[in-house]
């Protein structure tokens, strides 16, 4: 089994590096064992318009540009291109811009919410996805202007509308953060 499929990681080195060949191999394994939703079968990508239709977040708080490798009920990889124009960089930190860790966590959580919304085919005007909890957050490196965050999220539990996930964020092959989190669908308020 590969790094995504074997949870938790078996060695410390597994959490530190992930080469692109293995990412492609793991993605193919997910696609082979999961059912790809028809509208995502070609390329398994979720574009910006569908993200906007599935999540209530909007600029400046929508932290996913697109998603790849969507497998209903199992996994997705969110992509965020971090630009120098992000609204948080001028104040965090002047002269040394670093993406706030809580926003990296939020981006991964939004990727999980997208997976959950697409899996349930939820109408965001009637169903909200609420972040319930987070465990084991470990930051490994900063995210800087010009970086591209790649955020693989995998469902580890799904019962009675409660989803648990294992999420990570990478810049290139470098692990930025990983953690477990939970979310639940409910009526909008």
The first and second tokens of residue 32, run together, are 């082979």
17-28 pLDDT per residue, tens: 444 444 444 444
The CATH architecture assigned to 12-187 reads: Roll (3.10)
- Give residues with Cβ within 8 angstroms of 101, minimum separation 6: 137, 139, 177
Read off the pLDDT of each residue in 138-167 and give the average, rounded to a whole number.
98
Phi, psi of 184 (to 5 degrees): -140, 140
Q: 3 or 188: which carries more pLDDT confidence?
A: 188
pLDDT at 123: 86
Active site residues: 92
- Give residues with Cβ within 8 angstroms of 137, minimum separation 6: 101, 105, 177, 178, 179
pLDDT at 168: 99
Q: Is the pLDDT of residue 124 over 90?
A: no
Read off the pLDDT of each residue in 127-139 and give the average, rounded to a whole number.
96
Structural domain spans, the chain = 12-187
Q: Is the pLDDT of residue 33 over 50?
A: no
**DSSP secondary structure letters along the chain:** --TTTSSS-SSHHHHHB--HHHHHHHHHHHHHHSPPPGGGTTTT-B-HHHHHHH----TTS---SEEEEEETTTEEEEEEE--TT-TTGGGSSTTS----HHHHHHHHHHHHHHHHHHHHT--TTTEEEEEEEEEEEEE-S---TT-EEEEEEEEEEEETTEEEEEEEEEETTEEEEEEEEEEEEEE--
107-120 pLDDT per residue, tens: 999 999 999 999 99
pLDDT interval class at 149 (50, 70, 90): very high
Q: How many CB atoms lie within 10 A of CB 172?
A: 14
Read off the pLDDT of each residue in 136-154 and give the average, rounded to a whole number.
98
Q: Is the pLDDT of residue 105 over 80?
A: yes
C-alpha angle 115-102-120 in degrees, rounded to nearest 5: 15
Q: Is the pLDDT of residue 30 over 60?
A: no
Q: 105 or 22: which carries more pLDDT confidence?
A: 105
Q: How many CB atoms lie within 10 A of CB 42?
A: 8
34-61 pLDDT per residue, tens: 433 334 443 489 999 999 999 999 999 9
Q: 32 or 126: which carries more pLDDT confidence?
A: 126
């Amino acid at each position: 089994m590969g790094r995504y499929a074997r949870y938790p990681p078996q060695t410390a080195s597994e959490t530190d590096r992930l080469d692109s060949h293995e990412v492609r191999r793991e993605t193919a394994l997910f696609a082979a064992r999961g059912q790809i939703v028809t509208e995502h079968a070609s390329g398994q990508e979720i574009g910006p318009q569908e993200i906007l239709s599935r999540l209530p977040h909007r600029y400046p708080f929508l932290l996913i540009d697109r998603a790849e490798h969507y497998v209903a009920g199992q996994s997705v990889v969110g992509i965020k291109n971090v630009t120098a124009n992000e609204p948080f960089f001028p104040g965090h930190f002047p002269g040394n811009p670093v993406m706030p860790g809580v926003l990296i966590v939020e981006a991964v959580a939004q990727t999980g919410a997208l997976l959950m919304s697409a899996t349930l085919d939820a109408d965001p005007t009637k169903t909200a996805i609420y972040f319930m909890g987070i465990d084991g957050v470990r930051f490994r490196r900063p995210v800087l202007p010009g970086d591209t965050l790649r955020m693989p999220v995998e469902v580890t539990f799904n019962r009675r509308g409660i989803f648990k996930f294992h999420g990570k964020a990478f810049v290139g092959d470098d692990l930025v953060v990983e953690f477990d989190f939970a979310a639940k669908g409910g009526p909008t308020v």
